[in-house]
Chain A
């Protein structure tokens, strides 16, 4: 079974500053993918960034980067230069990448972190 833990129910950041949202995971699968999604107050789920467990480098997408520490089983999201529009719920998720096993194909989410950006 796989499990995602986001220990920060809420985070606050000043506009233009950077913020790190924590995500730790537990899995017995040898290869897996890690995802971050944003859910604004309107409710839609927006994909932000992906990191494969086999990737040598940390993923980056614009102002988003993923601080991936495989040995510590953490995949923290870093948002640089925060904007008011970044205020939203953020979810970390993972999925095994190998066929077979009870978790095959299942995308598992954490509890989420609500980020509030102050002007």
Chain B
């Protein structure tokens, strides 16, 4: 099984450009997450989806939109990229939001906004 797959792995954007980060999981998980990782800040939750059709803001949602297309896929969109959005982005999934099961992570997307 592939687990959680993120695309692309690397991306350079110019300020003001838009892009969508794709994430898909093949574990039939209900919950999916988008995080950003910055030095000294740990992983901060951008958006969370408890199940297909539902999304909820996390700690740092400004400048981002998400779409839970179906149970497998959870995309993150930057409508107008800013240098402050330079970061490593991780998608994750877990069986349920209230479960004691761990979250499984994708390999990450390293995004640079110039």
Contacts and interface: CB of A to CB of B under 8 A. Distances in A.
Contacts of B58: 106
A68 interface: no
B107 A105 contact: no
A98 interface: yes
B interface bracket (residues with beta carbon within 8 Å of A): 20 to 34
Contacts, number: 64
Nearest to B88: A43
Interface string B69-110: 000000000000000000010101010111110111101100
A40 interface: no
B33 A50 contact: no
A9 B42 CA distance: 11
Between A4, A9, A35, A98, the greatest number of chain B beta carbons within 10 A of the residue's beta carbon is seen for A35
Interface string A82-119: 00000000010101111100001111111110000000
B107 A44 contact: yes
A105 to B, nearest CB: 2
A9 B41 CA distance: 11
A44 B40 contact: no
8 contacts: A33-B100, A43-B108, A45-B92, A52-B100, A95-B97, A97-B99, A109-B45, A110-B42
Given A109-B35, A109-B44, A109-B45, 15 more contacts: A35-B103, A43-B88, A43-B107, A44-B108, A45-B92, A45-B105, A50-B102, A52-B100, A104-B97, A106-B45, A106-B58, A108-B59, A110-B42, A111-B41, A112-B42
Interface of A: 4, 6, 9, 33, 35, 43-45, 47, 50, 52, 91, 93, 95-99, 104-112
Interface of B: 31, 33, 35, 40-45, 48, 50, 56, 58-59, 88, 90, 92, 94, 96-100, 102-105, 107-108
